[in-house]
Amino acid sequence: DAGVIQSPRHEVTEMGQEVTLRCKPISGHDYLFWYRQTMMRGLELLIYFNNNVPIDDSGMPEDRFSAKMPNASFSTLKIQPSEPRDSAVYFCASSLAGADTQYFGPGTRLTVL
């Protein structure tokens, strides 16, 4: 079975550029989560969706961050404009309602120069 798929795995960009991270959840899962991981702040929940609808975006750090889920099999996290402090590993995870376990993708390592 395919797990959660994220692309790209690595992204290097310059400050001010737009960055788009992509996620394909496990088929049939109806919850999708975006996390950010840094050494300083650990693992932070940015936003999560249920049935493609954003439920809680209180963790999104600034208006520069936005996330969409146009259908059940695809989500994007966009940063515009990017800043060096956005450098982190971004994880997508999915789960099935009624189940406790989240399944994580391999992450996208973002470096903003």
* Residue 4 in contact with another protein, rule: CB under 8 A: yes
For another protein, the binding residues in 43-72 under the rule CB under 8 A are 43, 45, 48, 50, 55-56
How many chain residues interact with another protein (CB under 8 A)? 22
Nearer CB in complex with another protein: 81/106: 106
Interface segment toward another protein; rule CB under 8 A; list 12-20, 65-73, 76-84, 102-110 = 102-110
Compute CA distances 94 → 2, 15, 54, 76, whole Å. 12, 30, 13, 13
* Residue 1 in contact with another protein, rule: CB under 8 A: no
Interface segment toward another protein; rule CB under 8 A; list 15-23, 42-50, 60-68, 74-82 = 42-50
The rounded distance, in Å, linking the Cα atoms of 84 and 107 is 18
Question: What is the contact surface with another protein in residues (CB under 8 A)?
Answer: 4, 31, 33, 42-43, 45, 48, 50, 55-56, 91, 93, 95, 97, 100-107
